[in-house]
C-alpha cells in the first residue's frame, strides 16, 4: 500500500453535556484526526489522547509532536504490505501508544478498503451486533445521577457504569441498587483509591457489581492482586494494561478477572487483538472502553468489539450521547435492545463528513517522508 499523503487535523467539538470523572470535568474535546491518502482512497484514524496528561502521560499536543516529527514521516516513506506490520515500523519510538494507534488504525482502515472487505472482517470479527453499556459521569447531585441512569436505561443500554471517587461511591451505589435491584451495574474509579481503602471497597460487594474498574494505581498489578483476593466482586483493569505482556502478567498474578481493552491505550488494533487473544485463551472476558471519541474512533471501536471475546457490554454508545452533530454518517445508533449493528460495508462502514471536518478544523499539517541524507 503506497501512502501518498498524511494529514493531521485538530478539531474542537463541544460535548452535549460535561463529563466528570475522578480526574476532573471535560466540557469539550480537542480531537486529533489522521487522514491518509492512497491511490484515490482516503482512510482515517483518531488519536484518543486527552487535553491533559491525566488518564495517561500522553496529550493531544505530545501526540501531535511525536507524530509529525517521528512516526508519520516513517509511515509516509513506507509501503506496508499489511497494517499488522506498522508496529514494527514504529518500534524505535518508545511509548506514545495513542499516537501510534491513530496512524496504525488509519492503515487498517485503508487496507480494508484496498481488499474490499469490512474493517471488522479484516480484524477477524465474527459478531453481527455488539452489546452496549454506557458510562455515566459524576453528577452534581444524587438526584441528577439517578435521573441520568433512568434516561439511559430507557434508551436500552444493557450495562450502567458509574464513575466514582472517594466521597462519591458507597451511598451512590446503595441508592442505585435500592431503585434498580436487577440491572447490570459496574463502577470505574480511574485509580482514585489506595489499598488503605480496602475496607471501604469491600463494602461494595454488597451491591452485586459486575466489576470494579481500576480502583488502585494506574500502573499497578501487585496491589490489585492483593485487593482482588479480598473481594467477591471482580476487578477489571484498564490503565494498567498497555500490551499483551501486561495482560499476561495481570492474569498470572490474579490482579483482575476482567480486562478493558482501549484501542489507543494499547497502541492500536494489532496490540488490541493480541490482548484479546491472550485473555480469550485464558478464559478472561474483555470489553471495549471509550475515550470520548468522535465517530471515527467510535467506528473503530465497533469493529474491534466484533471480535469473539468481547462478551461484556462495552462503552461504545450512541453518537448523540456526546455530540450534537457527529462527523460521520450515519451516526452511531443503539437499538432499543442495547445493541449496535456491526457494519458489513467496505472499510469502517461510516462515511466521514469531510465538509464538517473541514469546518471544525483549527489546525492542519501535512507530513511528508524524511528526505534521505
- Rounded to a whole number of angstroms, the distance between the first and last alpha carbons of the chain is 24
Say how many residues make up the chain. 373
DSSP state letters, 266-318: HTSHHHHHHHHHHHHHTT--EEE---S--HHHHHHHHHHHTSTTB-S-BS---
Instruction: Indicate which residue of 2, 91, 151, 163 is catalytic.
Output: 163
How far from chain centre, in Å, is Cα 370? 31
Distance, CA of 34 to CA of 72 (rounded, Å): 10
3-state secondary structure of 66: helix
Q: Which of 228, 275, 274, 277 minimizes the C-alpha distance to 253?
A: 228
269, 295 Cβ separation under 8 angstroms: no
Instruction: Indicate which residue of 165, 262, 324, 364 is catalytic.
Output: 262
Sheet holding 212-213, edge to edge: 133-136, 159-163, 185-188, 212-213, 235-237, 258-261, 286-288
Distance, CA of 277 to CA of 309 (rounded, Å): 8
Could you give the maximum distance between any two Cα atoms of the chain, in Å? 69
Query: Cell 482501549 sits at which residue?
Result: 262
Whether the CA torsion 237, 239, 245, 249 is positive or negative: it is negative
Distance, CA of 346 to CA of 110 (rounded, Å): 10
52, 64 Cβ separation under 8 angstroms: no
163 given a catalytic annotation: yes
161 given a catalytic annotation: no
Which residues are catalytically annotated? 163, 262
Amino acid at each position: 500500500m503506497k501512502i501518498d499523503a498524511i494529514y493531521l487535523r485538530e478539531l474542537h467539538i463541544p460535548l452535549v453535556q460535561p463529563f466528570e470523572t475522578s480526574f476532573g470535568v471535560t466540557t469539550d474535546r480537542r480531537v486529533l484526526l489522521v487522514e491518509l491518502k492512497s491511490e484515490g482512497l482516503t482512510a482515517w484514524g483518531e488519536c484518543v489522547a486527552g487535553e491533559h496528561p491525566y488518564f495517561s502521560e500522553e496529550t493531544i499536543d505530545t501526540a501531535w509532536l511525536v507524530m509529525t516529527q517521528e512516526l508519520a514521516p516513517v509511515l509516509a516513506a513506507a509501503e506496508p504490505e499489511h497494517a499488522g506490520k506498522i508496529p514494527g515500523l514504529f518500534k524505535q519510538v518508545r511509548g506514545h501508544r495513542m499516537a501510534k494507534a491513530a496512524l496504525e488504525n488509519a492503515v487498517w482502515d485503508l487496507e480494508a478498503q484496498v481488499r474490499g472487505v469490512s474493517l471488522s472482517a479484516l480484524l477477524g470479527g465474527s459478531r453481527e451486533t455488539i452489546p452496549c453499556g454506557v458510562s455515566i459521569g459524576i453528577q452534581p447531585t444524587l438526584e441528577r445521577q439517578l435521573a441520568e441512569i433512568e434516561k439511559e436505561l430507557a434508551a436500552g443500554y444493557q450495562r450502567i457504569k458509574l464513575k466514582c471517587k472517594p466521597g462519591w461511591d458507597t451511598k451512590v451505589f446503595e441508592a442505585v441498587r435500592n431503585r434498580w435491584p436487577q440491572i447490570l451495574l459496574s463502577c470505574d474509579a480511574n485509580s482514585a483509591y489506595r489499598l488503605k481503602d480496602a475496607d471501604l471497597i469491600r463494602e461494595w460487594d454488597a451491591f452485586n457489581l459486575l466489576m470494579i474498574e481500576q480502583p488502585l494505581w494506574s500502573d499497578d498489578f501487585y496491589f490489585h492482586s492483593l485487593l482482588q483476593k479480598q473481594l467477591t466482586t471482580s476487578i477489571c483493569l484498564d490503565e494498567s494494561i498497555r500490551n499483551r505482556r501486561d495482560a499476561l502478567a495481570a492474569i498470572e498474578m490474579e490482579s483482575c478477572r476482567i480486562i478493558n481493552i482501549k484501542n489507543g491505550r494499547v497502541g492500536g488494533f494489532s496490540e488490541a487483538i493480541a490482548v484479546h487473544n491472550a485473555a480469550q485463551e485464558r478464559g478472561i472476558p474483555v470489553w471495549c472502553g471509550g475515550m470520548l471519541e468522535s465517530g471515527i474512533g467510535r467506528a473503530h471501536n465497533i469493529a474491534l468489539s466484533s471480535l469473539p471475546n468481547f462478551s461484556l457490554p462495552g462503552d461504545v454508545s450512541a453518537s448523540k450521547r456526546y455530540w450534537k452533530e457527529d462527523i460521520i454518517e450515519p451516526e452511531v445508533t443503539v437499538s432499543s435492545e442495547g445493541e449496535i449493528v456491526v457494519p458489513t460495508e467496505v472499510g469502517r462502514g461510516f462515511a466521514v463528513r469531510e465538509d464538517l471536518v473541514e469546518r471544525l478544523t483549527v489546525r492542519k499539517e501535512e507530513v511528508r517522508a524524511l528526505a534521505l541524507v
